[in-house]
Amino acid sequence: MNILRKFHNIVLAQSAAIIFFLASSPLYAQGDDVDPFIEMNRNIYSFNQDFDDILFKPVTQAYNAVMPDLAKIGVGNFFRNLDDINVVVNDLLQLKMGNAAHDSGRFVLNSTVGIVGLVDVATRFGLYKNNEDFGQTLGYWGVPSGPYLMLPIIGTST
C-alpha cells in the first residue's frame, strides 16, 4: 500500500503543478539552472524507481525469457507502426503535408501488407520512419520549453 500512497501524493502534487503552469502562463520558460519543482520531481523519481523495480523489471525479464526474438521484432514493429499515427498528427499540426502523406503511406502499407504492422515492409520500399512528437509541434509554433518535470510512470518532460 505504500506505493499506492506515494502514487496518490504524487498525482496530487503533479496536478497542482500543472494547474500552476496553466494559470501562470502558457509560454512559461525557465532557465536551465532552476528546478522549481525539485522536491516533487525527486518524489516522483523515487516512485518511478519503486514502480520499475516492483512491476516493470519482472515483467520485462519474463518477456525476454519467454518470447522468441522473431516475436519481439514483430511486437516492436507493431508498436512503431501505431506510433506512426502520432507522427502523422504532428506532421499535420506542423504543416508538413509532404511528411504527413509519406507517414500516412507508411502506416497504411505496414498495416495492410505488413500484417497489422508486425512486419515493417514500408522501410523496404523506401518509406523510412520520421520522428515527430508534440514537443516538436509546440516548438514549431514557438512555445518554449518549460521547467523540468518528472511524470509518474512516463518519465521526464519539459
Q: Tell me which long-range contacts 93-97 makes (C-beta under 8 A, separation of at least 24).
A: 93/134, 93/137, 93/140, 94/132, 94/136, 94/137, 94/140, 95/140, 96/132
| 47 within 8 A of 6, measured Cβ to Cβ | yes
Euclidean distance between CA atoms 89 and 104, whole angstroms: 10
Where does the pLDDT of residue 26 fall: very low under 50, low under 70, confident under 90, or very high at 90 and above?
Answer: very low
Euclidean distance between CA atoms 67 and 137, whole angstroms: 36
> Which is more confident, 103 or 155?
103
- Percentage of the residues of the chain whose pLDDT score is greater than 90: 71
Where does the pLDDT of residue 3 fall: very low under 50, low under 70, confident under 90, or very high at 90 and above?
Answer: low
* Mean per-residue pLDDT over the chain, rounded: 86
Where does the pLDDT of residue 158 fall: very low under 50, low under 70, confident under 90, or very high at 90 and above?
Answer: confident
| pLDDT, position 146 | 86
Please check the confidence at residue 25 and state whether its pLDDT lies above 50. no
Question: pLDDT for 34-71, tens place per residue?
Answer: 788 999 999 999 999 999 999 999 999 999 999 999 99
| pLDDT, position 18 | 55
Question: Strand, helix or coil at 85?
Answer: helix
Please check the confidence at residue 96 and state whether its pLDDT lies above 50. yes
Residue 77's nearest CA partner among 34, 110, 44 is 110
C-alpha cell, 31: 532557465
Give mean pLDDT, residues 91-103.
Answer: 97
Question: pLDDT for 139-154, tens place per residue?
Answer: 999 999 888 899 999 9
Helix axes of 38-51 and 2-24: crossing angle, nearest 10 degrees: 140
| 153 within 8 A of 51, measured Cβ to Cβ | yes
| pLDDT, position 122 | 96
